[in-house]
Amino acid sequence: ARQRISEIAQMRVDARAALESAIDGNDLIVLDDALSEAQRLSATDHDLTGRANDRLAVLTRRQDAKDDLLTAITAVDRADLEAKITVARDLGVDEPTLHEAAARSRELEHMMHRAERHLRRDTEGDDYEALRDSLAEAVSYNGAVTEEQVQQAQARLAQLQVIYNCEQDLINAFETNSMGHIQRKLRQCREAGCHSQVEADGEAAASRLRVRMARAESNLIRLTQSGEDPQELREAIDAVRSMNAAARYRITAAEDKLRELER
């Protein structure tokens, strides 16, 4: 028993010393554990416990500031990051973390300047997708561009979207079987001011359709006059109908011929 009493007394001395050391340190977990152990062994007093709790509060605020700073480092809000750096520095957050935050702040500053340049460039340009992407990037950074710049970019984007939609409609019509449809999309593109290359591609698609229509009509006429295979003639009639490539009287003549071949 006397030996155990001696061991406990030494444990109390050690626990108190550990708590004193932890109060002077910067490790929140070590201090919290040391305080718990000292209280368990009744190795502390009101004054020492008060000092430990005060230090715990300081280290907790420091850890919270560090956690907030690390979160801000992964975000793209430079103003918020700078505010977090100031708080963290005042609360004594370690230098490596502060250095990492400062480096991230400089990186964000560069990215914001670049985003602003790209937005100005694309607002003056005529590429809808480029302006759409650069506007989204610019507004993702707090303070990279002014509200006036955003409004100008949005107004220009609305103009370019009309052109973009017309171009997409025309592109989607490149493989159509309807000459009327592709001609309507070409007219809409001209009125909207689409890019000349897209209009040229549309004209080329219309030319290809004209060739297909002419060939389909020629094939229908040939099979109507001298064809012997009803399936071949039936397919020729369907092709002409799908493209509206022949006059009604030619289709009627072909249908009469098809009935003859099927008898």
The predicted-structure confidence for 153-176, as pLDDT tens digits, reads as follows 999 999 999 999 999 999 999 999
**Both structure tokens of 151:** 């409004």
**Both structure tokens of 110:** 């560069």
Residues found in the chain: 263
pLDDT at 9: 87
The predicted-structure confidence for 119-136, as pLDDT tens digits, reads as follows 999 999 999 999 999 999
The predicted-structure confidence for 19-38, as pLDDT tens digits, reads as follows 999 998 888 899 899 999 99
Is the pTM above the cut of 0.85? no
pLDDT at 27: 84
Residue 146 burial (10 A CB sphere; 0-12, 13-18, 19+):
exposed
Q: What DSSP character marks residue 125?
A: S
The predicted-structure confidence for 79-118, as pLDDT tens digits, reads as follows 999 999 999 999 999 999 999 999 999 999 999 999 999 9
Question: 189 and 167 in contact (C-beta within 8 Å)?
Answer: yes
Q: How many CB atoms lie within 10 A of CB 145?
A: 21
Sign of CA dihedral 46, 63, 31, 94: negative
Count of CA atoms in the C-beta half-sphere (13 A) of 72: 28
Q: If DSSP states are collapsed to H, E and C, what string results for 177-197?
A: CCHHHHHHHHHHHHHHCCCHH
Q: How many CB atoms lie within 10 A of CB 138?
A: 23
Segment 214-234 mean pLDDT: 94
In the chain, % of residues over pLDDT 90: 88
